[in-house]
């Protein structure tokens, strides 16, 4: 983590749980919380990338995270891991529901099985991770749940209709959770990334036409990087954001 990012004393020793933390935006989130000296556990389906991330963070002088392998479509396993982290490390007081997959697809090709799988990958686990962590946060006197949306549905993006359906639903879920859990001092917000320059995006989709679209659509020059999203996440997890809840925090260079 660059020294230009803020350090939050309230994040020291905070028990943080991140989904999809092995690569991309998630890896940057894990790195930033470790640099804050938080107690971080993350889950991911990619064991090799996750192990490599853990190996890189320790020698950099940050607190080493704990990785647990999990396919987030297995809700029982996810909730078991959340419970075990609470028992081993103390109550989770920051949950980052980052994991997602923006696989491209056409409306006419979507089957019921594909629909169910994409909803499981992009929405369902956010609900059930929040459900599992809620008792821990309540017992701790509060916490921060950070869900991940997307500007894709706001920008009426084609080619990913099930993904945009899941991401639009996330915003409604966030606001309902915020109202329901606020009485326990649990804050719930949605981070809304723009087109973030992860390795996956660069390898698969960021070509000359995409760069022209980004230049035309963003108010700001440059490209949104994973660390830009991680900076927003650490702020929302910190006590500096103590009165922030039920909101969408868009980090997109001014696209929507």
Q: What is the pLDDT of residues 117-161, one digit of tens each?
A: 999 999 999 999 999 999 999 999 999 999 999 999 999 999 999
Alpha helices in the chain (DSSP H): 24-35, 47-57, 75-89, 112-119, 125-140, 161-181, 199-204, 208-217, 226-237
Are 92 and 143 within 8 A, CB to CB?
A: yes
How would you label 142-180 residue by residue, b for 16+ Cβ within 10 Å and e otherwise? bbbbbbbbbbbbbeeeeebbbbbbbbebbbebbbebbee
Predicted confidence at residue 58, as pLDDT, reads 82
Predicted confidence at residue 1, as pLDDT, reads 61
Strand partners, 16: 40, 94
Has 249 been annotated as catalytic? no
Predicted confidence at residue 4, as pLDDT, reads 82
Q: Which entry of 8, 114, 134, 163 is annotated as an active-site residue?
A: 163
Q: Taking 70 as the threshold, does the pLDDT of residue 110 lie above it?
A: yes
Q: How far apart are CA 106 and CA 29, in angstroms?
A: 31
Best CA proximity match to 181, nearest among 149, 127, 142, 148? 142
Name the pTM for this structure: 0.97
Domains of the chain, by residue range, sit at: 10-196+225-249
CATH superfamily placement of domain 10-196+225-249 = NAD(P)-binding Rossmann-like Domain (3.40.50.720)
Nearest 5°: CA angle at 168, between 163 and 170? 100
Q: What is the pLDDT of residues 7-22, one digit of tens each?
A: 999 999 999 999 999 9
In the chain, the percentage of residues whose pLDDT exceeds 90 is 96
Q: What is the pLDDT of residues 23-82, one digit of tens each?
A: 999 999 999 999 999 999 999 999 999 999 999 998 877 899 999 999 999 999 999 999
Q: What is the pLDDT of residues 211-255, one digit of tens each?
A: 999 999 999 999 999 999 999 999 999 999 999 999 999 999 999
């Amino acid at each position: 983590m660059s020294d230009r990012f803020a350090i939050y004393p309230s994040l020291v020793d905070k028990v943080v749980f991140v989904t999809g933390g092995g690569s991309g935006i998630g890896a940057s989130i894990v790195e930033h919380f470790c640099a804050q000296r938080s107690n971080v556990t993350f889950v991911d389906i990619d064991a090799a990338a996750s192990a490599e991330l853990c190996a890189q963070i320790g020698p950099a002088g940050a607190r080493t995270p704990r990785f647990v392998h999990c396919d987030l479509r297995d809700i029982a396993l996810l909730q078991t891991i959340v419970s075990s982290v609470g028992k081993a490390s103390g109550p989770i007081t920051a949950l980052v529901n980052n994991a997602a997959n923006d696989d491209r697809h056409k409306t006419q090709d979507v089957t019921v099985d594909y629909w169910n799988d994409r909803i499981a990958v992009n929405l369902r686990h956010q609900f059930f991770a929040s459900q599992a962590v809620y008792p821990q946060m309540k017992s701790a006197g509060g916490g921060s749940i950070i869900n991940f949306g997307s500007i894709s549905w706001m920008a009426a993006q084609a080619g990913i209709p099930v993904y945009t359906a899941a991401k639009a639903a996330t915003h409604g879920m966030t606001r309902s959770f915020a109202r329901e859990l606020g009485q326990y001092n649990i804050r719930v917000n949605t981070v809304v990334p723009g087109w973030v320059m992860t390795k996956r995006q660069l390898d698969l989709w960021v070509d000359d036409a995409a760069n022209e679209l980004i230049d035309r659509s963003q108010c700001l020059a440059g490209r949104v990087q994973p660390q830009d999203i991680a900076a927003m996440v650490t702020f929302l997890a910190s006590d500096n954001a103590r009165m922030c809840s039920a909101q969408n925090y868009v980090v997109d260079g001014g696209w929507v």
